[in-house]
Amino acid sequence: LTGTIEEIAKIAKVSRSTVSRVLNGDPNVREKTRQHVLEVLRTTGFQPNRAARRLAGGHARIIGLIIPSGVARLFSDPFFAILIQHISHACSARDQAVMLWLAEPEYERRMIGQLLGSGLVDGVLVASSVIDDPLVEALHHSPLPLVMIGRSPHRTEISSIDVDNIESARRAVHYLLERGRGRIAVVNGPQNMISGLDRFEGYKTALQDWGLELDPALVVPGEFSEEDAFRGMEALLQREQVQAVFAASDSMALGAMRAIQKAGLRIPEDVALVGFDDLPLASRTDPPLTTMRQPIPGLAVTAVETLIQQINHPETGPKQIVLPAELVIRGTG
Amino acid sequence: LTGTIEEIAKIAKVSRSTVSRVLNGDPNVREKTRQHVLEVLRTTGFQPNRAARRLAGGHARIIGLIIPSGVARLFSDPFFAILIQHISHACSARDQAVMLWLAEPEYERRMIGQLLGSGLVDGVLVASSVIDDPLVEALHHSPLPLVMIGRSPHRTEISSIDVDNIESARRAVHYLLERGRGRIAVVNGPQNMISGLDRFEGYKTALQDWGLELDPALVVPGEFSEEDAFRGMEALLQREQVQAVFAASDSMALGAMRAIQKAGLRIPEDVALVGFDDLPLASRTDPPLTTMRQPIPGLAVTAVETLIQQINHPETGPKQIVLPAELVIRGTG
DNA sequence: CTGAAAGCGCTTACAG
DNA sequence: CTGAAAGCGCTTACAG
């Protein structure tokens, strides 16, 4: 279908070295030659064989996208689906293919071996992980460039892209406090993930800012799942009176919303509600959800570009990039 | 980390040909030699370089998993997330890596070129598609082995794995009719996808079986999304009285459930409800959802195995495999 | 049953 | 700026 570099060379009447140079953007090609080869490349629709490319020591332009096993349960959260879509999109736009590795405890060892040994992947993106995930540790000690989405608290030597969860959560809760809501419940994410931990931290900080005590009775443990949030909130509402709820994800906000409405309380009159993520569903709930918007496209693009940078210039040190979130005020608070 | 075949050969004191043969299960190796090489392979944890393998004419053991652009919107339906997890699992268990291609209109052409030209992938799995998707057509006309999840109505030359959507939907509606529910609304999936079309077909057939007329006023168009189902159902309940609802997916059943309950109707006393999929959420709704269970693990495993079969024995003709669904009776009908 | 050799399609010093 | 040549790590006839 697409032929080999040799055939292109023949058509363009140059050596295969020259074709390869053009393909790889090597500056040591006369401009006229380059244009000519480029033209042949275009008309033939040539696609270099990535396997050969990789084998010969170049980059295959393949990125490994890893979902650690501890996170696999969350895989059906729309946040993930959307994140993966944007990562995939960012890769396509940069002519990078994506290899998906859903880590599973049983195959984790083998997976790492394959990632390293199979010689396919130029670098690796870890999409969210549990704190101190051994998989991340292993990856970090491998020669493969690595970028995480979500910061790694104990490892600033690993490049990561994250939203400022602490500050964002704090701002969300401030917003509720400013609107006169004193008793604010929190629906937490998993506390073994940094995003869950940080958002809870932000909640606590906001209370402190206002000189309020943390009331453990107002803390609903959650796992980023709608159902858990629904149940937890339902139970809480039976014993406590609250004026507002901060949910650490939109999925959980949805669950909380259902519980609040089921309890016969009005949103936002009786109970205000702020979520986190700004998934598409947030604008379609009734009333529409006020929430902290995660810049998912930005996270994806930045992660992919950071990784590519790391692949092409391994000498560049690790980077921690923090992206801002934005409060989107709608009808729930 | 894992070394090359050459190093294994040296340790095992055989030629690299022999190592390659045991690696590939070639029967022309003396049993004692094989055991010895296997032992060395085991102790070294050797991983063959897939890029080299593929280049040399063997199989890379990489499967391309394609989500066509027409389906990308559905990507955040938990059904997809779970399906992908199972596919990934089935591949890991068979030592196959997964390359993810979320097709996007803008990059679709390039993607196909890459799939074919990049020489990375041994075969391709299309996870659900729109009817007569041009992407599937292109793939079908390529030399790459192809298996679809979801049947392709006009192309029996393509291997496909599917659940019997028509019959399953029919059984679901029969179940409601048998329980004395005469006026049954349907929340449809997209009618440009075979699963949406077939389930509607099953609904219509069931009505016919009972000598009932199809009432267009009872048909809620949907796109497999909870929100659309919620709105559609809400609108329907304002003008119609129904005794039951058949939703073509669990996500939509959830939306319908919310609408029914919001309208002050009891489930199942006033309105019975049957979904389709049996996602984890089905057992956790209130009341728990009665639904047709799709054998997702079975679909995934069968699809992967069919594709591997197709890769290893291209002479085998295409296969259409239909898996049974099962009605799971819970609290909604 | 086993090994030496050619070749897969690239990249990258090396020489000019 | 360009080309001839070596080499990446495998597989697979070919010869024995």
| Structure confidence by residue, pLDDT tens digits, A37-59 | 999 999 998 888 888 998 898 88
Q: Which protein residue lies nearest to nucleotide D11, measured between its Cα and the C1' atom? A: B56
Instruction: Estimate in Å the CA A30 to C1' D7 gap, whole number.
Output: 27
User: Nearest nucleotide, C1' to the C-alpha of A117?
Assistant: D9
pLDDT at B75: 80
**Residue B237 buriedness (CB in 10 A; 0-12 / 13-18 / 19+):** buried
User: Does A111 sit within 8 Å of B1, measured CB to CB?
Assistant: no
Q: For an interface test with A, which of B66, B79, B92 has the most A Cβ atoms less than 10 Å from its Cβ? A: B92
Option in B85, B99, B120 nearest A72 (CB): B85
Chain B nearest CA to A155, separation (Å): 23
Residue B240 and residue B185: Cα distance in Å, rounded?
A: 9
State the amino acid at position A160 in one-letter form. Answer: S
Average pLDDT, chain A: 92
Percent of chain A with pLDDT over 90: 69
User: Does A110 sit within 8 Å of B89, measured CB to CB?
Assistant: no
Name residues 68-107 of chain B within 8 A of A (Cβ): 72, 75-76, 78, 80-82, 84-85, 88-89, 92-93, 95, 97-102, 104, 106-107
pLDDT tens digits, A263-314: 999 999 999 999 999 999 899 888 999 999 999 999 999 999 999 999 988 8
Residue B151 and residue B161: Cα distance in Å, rounded?
A: 6
Q: Is strand D less than 7 A from the beta carbon of B57?
A: yes
Chain D nucleotides covered by protein, CB below 7 Å: 1-5, 7-13
Dump the DSSP string for B8-74: HHHHHTS-HHHHHHHHTT-S-S-HHHHHHHHHHHHHHT----HHHHHHTTS---EEEEEE-HHHHGG
Number of Cα atoms under 13 Å in the Cβ half of residue B11: 17
Question: Measured between alpha carbons, how far is residue A108 from residues A103, A125, A139 in Å?
Answer: 6, 16, 11
User: Does B81 sit within 8 Å of A46, measured CB to CB?
Assistant: no
Taken in order A72, A75, A76, A77, is the CA torsion positive or negative? positive
pLDDT at B72: 75
Place of tokens 């003008």: B239
User: Nearest nucleotide, C1' to the C-alpha of B34?
Assistant: C1
B311 CB-near residues (< 8 Å, 6+ apart): B59, B122, B123, B145
pLDDT at A138: 87
Q: Is strand D less than 7 A from the beta carbon of B6?
A: yes
Task: Report which of residues B58 and A203 the model is more confident about.
Answer: A203
User: Does A99 sit within 8 Å of B97, measured CB to CB?
Assistant: yes
Option in B54, B100, B227 nearest A100 (CB): B100
Residue A23 forms contact with B (CB below 8 Å): no
Question: Measured between alpha carbons, how far is residue B319 from residues B155, B163, B307 in Å?
Answer: 11, 14, 10
Chain B nearest CA to A208, separation (Å): 37
Residue A60 forms contact with B (CB below 8 Å): yes
User: Does A116 sit within 8 Å of B1, measured CB to CB?
Assistant: yes
Dump the DSSP string for A37-53: HHHHHHHHT----HHHH
Q: For strand B244-247 and strand B184-187, is the pairing parallel, antiparallel, or unpaired?
A: parallel
Taken in order A144, A147, A153, A157, is the CA torsion positive or negative? positive
Angle between the B16-23 and B5-12 helix axes, to the nearest 10 degrees?
Answer: 110
Contact by Cβ (8 Å): B111, B124:
no
Residue B284 forms contact with A (CB below 8 Å): yes
pLDDT at A261: 93
pLDDT at B81: 87
Which of A151-165, A190-204, A248-262, B1-15 is least confident?
B1-15
What are the strands of the beta sheet with A219-220, ordered from one edge? A219-220, A184-187, A244-247, A272-277, A290-293, A326-328
pLDDT at A1: 54
Chains A–B, number of C-beta pairs less than 8 Å apart: 159
User: Does A120 sit within 8 Å of B47, measured CB to CB?
Assistant: no
pLDDT at A284: 87
Instruction: Estimate in Å the CA B16 to C1' C5 gap, whole number.
Output: 12
pLDDT tens digits, A126-147: 998 889 888 898 889 888 899 9
Contact by Cβ (8 Å): B122, B63:
yes
- Is it true that the peptide bond before B288 is cis, omega within 30 degrees of 0? no
pLDDT at A234: 97
Phi first, then psi, for residue A274 (nearest 5°) are -125, 130
User: Nearest nucleotide, C1' to the C-alpha of B56?
Assistant: C8
Chain B: residue whose CA lies nearest to A113: B47
Task: Report, as ranges of residue numbers, the positions in chain B whose pLDDT lies below 50.
Answer: none
Place of tokens 């168009």: B221
Q: Is strand D less than 7 A from the beta carbon of A24?
A: no
Option in A60, A75, A104 nearest B81 (CB): A75
User: Does B1 sit within 8 Å of A117, measured CB to CB?
Assistant: yes
What tokens appear for A173 in the block?
């809760």
pLDDT at B233: 98
Assign residue A180 a region: left if phi > 0, alpha if psi is -120 to 50, beta otherwise?
A: left
Chain A nearest CA to B68, separation (Å): 12
Instruction: Estimate in Å the CA A5 to C1' D9 gap, whole number.
Output: 20
Chain A nearest CA to B178, separation (Å): 32
For residue A108, pLDDT over 80 is answered with: no
How many CB atoms are closer than 10 A to CB B73?
Answer: 14
pLDDT at B74: 84
In sequence order, what are the beta bridge partners of B245? B185, B273
Question: Measured between alpha carbons, how far is residue B111 from residues A60, B67, B139, B160, B163 in Å?
Answer: 15, 12, 11, 22, 28
Return chain B residues 63..102 having CB < 7 Å to nucleic acid strand D.
none
pLDDT tens digits, A72-85: 778 878 898 899 99
